[in-house]
Amino acid sequence: MSSSTQKEIKVGILGATGTVGQRFIQLLSTHPYFRLHALGASSRSAGQTYAAATKWKLATPIPEEVAGMVVSECDPSVEAFGECGVVFSGLDEKVGEIEDAFRRANLVVFSNAKNYRRDSLVPLIVPTVNPSHLSVVRAQQASLSLSKGYLVTNANCSTTCIVVPLRALELAFGPLKTVMVTTLQAISGAGYPGVSSLDILDNVVPYIGGEEEKIEWETNKILGGVTDGDDGFDLHAAGPGPINVSAHCNRVPVIDGHTACVSVAFQSGTKPSVEEVKKVLKGYKAEVVELGCPSAPKESIVLHEAQDRPQPRLDKDLYAGAAVHVGRVRECNVLDIKFVCMLDNVRLGAATSSVINAEYAVVKGFIQ
Ligand SMILES: NC(=O)c1ccc[n+]([C@@H]2O[C@H](COP(=O)([O-])OP(=O)(O)OC[C@H]3O[C@@H](n4cnc5c(N)ncnc54)[C@H](OP(=O)(O)O)[C@@H]3O)[C@@H](O)[C@H]2O)c1
């Protein structure tokens, strides 16, 4: 079924007033078949119109049809949420039990929080890498005796940035052995109000709590496979063992757009040439693009040849922030190959990934 013939599906947003929630609203207000129907946030916001409750930070205005909608508590018994075919969550990790309550109320939840990413029956999906992991939701439903509801997470934003080029390289040159990554992460990644201006202006903060561990662990679940019977995940089934990932994470004074400097070694011990690597990155085709998911970017990886690209300010908006940008591909004299990658941390790094994951679920019959 094409997106023009797909019937409309009502959707709700949890954490609608936050940084990720605002991107959800912007993306979904022009979506071909998802229709904004319910908005939820904390008790501080509940009962107010969306325009009054949110500190809107995007350059486009609040969509007219959303400004007057009344924000409710994040409670699955709210009638409007019960009518939704999909609930997107931009909720803080501190209130992870809310997402579980929505799932147990038989609602389909696409989450951005870290809480369930390591759950053995919850898919951790980067849409341009491993959407087929969605199949495990049937085992999740069986384990909780749910006929319709399930929960899917997307990855930490920096993990999303690196796994797209890593998947392309692994498919072409075989399993990865070692990945060394140093990130330069935007302040919007910390939500609103986030890092104080006195801490971040004219500065680099060489610590983001929990971030390095997320990159080191999530990479293996995403690049791994699902078990026979679709009832769990192999932590990196492509190789004889998990990939050794080592991360350094830094907060830098950029508003949107996380950059990562990555060095990679392959298990084969054979170094591909820089030209071979560039060809593979440029030619990478993601299933969600081939399937015509409406929010998927035309190119999952945009390869830059200019020596000083990618740059967050210049590159993050291409394809509505849904691509990973890769540049500075060169030989590594310690590992095999190195490059720089960048993504919009609030779009592909959060809201856009959830929306494409849900579009894939619609195409594959996981959402009615
Ligand atoms: N920002 C990014 O780049 C990014 C990227 C990937 C993943 N994430 C993840 O996405 C999630 C949201 O991040 P964010 O940056 O959007 O955070 P944020 O700007 O702080 O927004 C948090 C949202 O959660 C709501 N909320 C807070 N406490 C609540 C409660 N007790 N009950 C119901 N709602 C509550 C807030 O509502 P009120 O306005 O009413 O307080 C707000 O809508 C986090 O788990 C984060 O780790 C963020």
pLDDT of the residue at 238: 56
Residue-wise pLDDT tens digits, 210-247: 999 999 999 999 999 999 999 999 886 556 568 999 99
What does the block give as tokens for 143? 């384990």
What does the block give as tokens for 345? 């941390």
What is the rounded distance in angstroms from the CA atom of residue 72 to the CA atom of residue 50? 10
Instruction: Ligand 1, residue 256: give the atom nearest the CA.
Output: 3
- The verdict on whether 157 is a catalytic residue reads yes
352: nearest Cα among 14, 31, 9: 31
Is residue 1's pLDDT more than 90?
Answer: no
In this prediction, residue 2 has a pLDDT band, given cuts at 50, 70 and 90, of low
In this prediction, residue 39 has a pLDDT band, given cuts at 50, 70 and 90, of very high
Residue from 14, 20, 343 whose mutation best tests the ligand 1 pocket (most atoms within 8 A of CB): 20
Q: Give backbone dihedrals phi and psi of 263, rounded to 5 degrees, phi first.
A: -120, 140
- The verdict on whether 325 is a catalytic residue reads no
What is the rounded distance in angstroms from the CA atom of residue 133 to the CA atom of residue 121? 10
pLDDT of the residue at 269: 83
pLDDT mean across residues, the chain: 96
Q: Give backbone dihedrals phi and psi of 191, rounded to 5 degrees, phi first.
A: 75, -170
All structural domains of the chain: 9-156+351-363 (3.40.50.720), 157-344 (3.30.360.10)
